Chains A and B, each alone.
Chain A
Amino acid sequence: MSGEAPARVLAPFGRRAARVLERRVYGAYVVLRCADPDGPRPRAGQFYMLAASAWGGGDGERPFLPRAFSVLRSSTGHEREFLIEDVGPGTHRLCELSPGEDLLLVGPLGLGFTTPADGRRPLLVGGGVGIAPLAIWQDELGGATALLGFRDAPRAEGARLLADAQVATDDGSVGHRGLVTDLLREQLDRDDHASVYACGPPAMLESVRALCRERETPAQLALESGMACGFGACFGCVVPTREGYIRLCVDGPVVEASRLDSALVAGAGH
Chain B
Amino acid sequence: MTTRATPPHVPTELCGIRLAHPIINASGTFDAIAARRVFGEALIEQFPFAAFVSKTVTLTPREGNPPPRLWEIAGGLINSIGLPNKGLRRYLAEDLPELASLPVPLIVNVMGFTGEEVAELVSAFSEREEVAALELNVSCPNVETGLVMGADPGEVTALLRRVRPLTEKPLIVKLTPNATDVVAVARAAQDAGADAVSLINTIRGMALDPKSGRPWLGGTTGGLSGPAVRAVALAQVYAVAHGVNIPIVAMGGVQRGRDALDLILAGATVVAVGTESFREPAAGARISRELATLAAKSGLSRAGSSLNC
Interface membership of A255, Cβ < 8 A: no
Contact present for A15 and B226 (CB under 8 Å): no
Interface size class of chain A, counting residues whose CB lies under 8 Å from the partner chain: 35 or more
Residue on A nearest B39 in the bound complex, by CB? A13
Contact present for A235 and B69 (CB under 8 Å): yes
Residue numbers in A under 8 Å from B218 (CB-CB): 266
- Among A226, A231, A245, A266, chain B packs the most CB atoms within 10 A around the CB of A231
Given contacts A64-B226, A65-B77, A232-B34, contact A12 B39 (CB under 8 A): yes
Residue numbers in A under 8 Å from B166 (CB-CB): none
Given contacts A229-B278, A235-B81, contact A60 B39 (CB under 8 A): no
Contact present for A64 and B74 (CB under 8 Å): yes
Interface membership of A175, Cβ < 8 A: no
Contact present for B77 and A10 (CB under 8 Å): no
Contact present for B279 and A250 (CB under 8 Å): no
Residue on B nearest A234 in the bound complex, by CB? B278
Interface membership of B232, Cβ < 8 A: no
CB within 8 A of B34: which of A13, A65, A231, A239? A231
Residue numbers in B under 8 Å from A148 (CB-CB): none
Residue numbers in A under 8 Å from B31 (CB-CB): 232-233, 235
Interface membership of B35, Cβ < 8 A: yes
Residue on A nearest B76 in the bound complex, by CB? A64
Residue numbers in A under 8 Å from B29 (CB-CB): 233-234
Interface size class of chain B, counting residues whose CB lies under 8 Å from the partner chain: 35 or more
Bits for A51-66, please: 1 = Cβ < 8 Å to B, else 0.
1000010001111111
A36 to chain B, nearest CB (A): 16
Contact present for B280 and A14 (CB under 8 Å): yes
Interface membership of A109, Cβ < 8 A: yes
CB within 8 A of A265: which of B63, B67, B226, B277? B67
Interface membership of A228, Cβ < 8 A: yes
Complex CA gap A209/B151 in Å reads 47
Contact present for B46 and A225 (CB under 8 Å): no
CB within 8 A of B70: which of A15, A234, A247, A265? A234
Given contacts A15-B282, A233-B277, A238-B67, contact A56 B37 (CB under 8 A): no
Contact present for A267 and B34 (CB under 8 Å): no
Contact present for B34 and A247 (CB under 8 Å): yes
Contact present for A13 and B72 (CB under 8 Å): no
Given contacts A60-B73, A232-B34, A266-B68, contact A13 B278 (CB under 8 A): no
Main secondary structure of the interface of B (DSSP, over half): loop
Interface membership of B38, Cβ < 8 A: yes
Contact present for A266 and B73 (CB under 8 Å): no
Interface membership of A106, Cβ < 8 A: yes
Residue on A nearest B37 in the bound complex, by CB? A250
Contact present for B75 and A250 (CB under 8 Å): no
Contact present for A66 and B279 (CB under 8 Å): yes
Given contacts A64-B226, A266-B67, contact A233 B278 (CB under 8 A): yes
Contact present for B77 and A14 (CB under 8 Å): no
Complex CA gap A109/B39 in Å reads 9
B25 to chain A, nearest CB (A): 9
Within 8 A of A (CB), among B127-160: none
Interface membership of A119, Cβ < 8 A: no
Contact present for A236 and B79 (CB under 8 Å): yes
Given contacts A231-B39, A236-B79, contact A60 B34 (CB under 8 A): no
B26 to chain A, nearest CB (A): 11
A253 to chain B, nearest CB (A): 13
Contact present for A233 and B30 (CB under 8 Å): yes
Residue on B nearest A12 in the bound complex, by CB? B42
Contact present for A14 and B282 (CB under 8 Å): yes
Complex CA gap A245/B279 in Å reads 23
Interface membership of B87, Cβ < 8 A: no
Interface membership of A244, Cβ < 8 A: yes
Residue numbers in B under 8 Å from A211 (CB-CB): none
- Among B38, B84, B279, chain A packs the most CB atoms within 10 A around the CB of B38
B161 to chain A, nearest CB (A): 33
Residue on A nearest B40 in the bound complex, by CB? A10
Interface membership of B281, Cβ < 8 A: yes
Interface membership of B192, Cβ < 8 A: no
Within 8 A of B (CB), among A173-218: none
A228-B275, A231-B39, A265-B67 known; 20 new pairs, CB 8 Å cut-off, are A8-B38, A10-B42, A11-B38, A13-B39, A60-B74, A61-B74, A61-B75, A231-B35, A233-B35, A233-B281, A234-B70, A234-B81, A235-B28, A235-B31, A237-B67, A238-B84, A239-B67, A244-B63, A245-B67, A267-B68
Residues of B at the A interface (CB closer than 8 Å) are: 28-31, 33-35, 37-40, 42-43, 46, 55, 63-64, 66-70, 72-77, 79, 81, 84, 216, 218, 226, 275, 277-282, 285
Residues of A at the B interface (CB closer than 8 Å) are: 8, 10-15, 51, 56, 60-66, 106, 109, 225-229, 231-240, 244-245, 247, 250, 265-267
What are 27 contact pairs spanning A and B, CB under 8 A?
Answer: A8-B37, A10-B39, A14-B46, A14-B285, A62-B73, A63-B72, A226-B67, A226-B68, A226-B69, A228-B70, A228-B77, A229-B277, A229-B281, A231-B35, A231-B38, A233-B31, A233-B35, A235-B81, A237-B67, A239-B67, A245-B64, A250-B34, A266-B66, A266-B67, A266-B218, A267-B67, A267-B216
Which 10 A/B pairs are nearest by Cβ-Cβ distance?
A232-B34, A267-B68, A61-B74, A14-B282, A229-B278, A236-B70, A13-B42, A13-B39, A10-B40, A228-B278
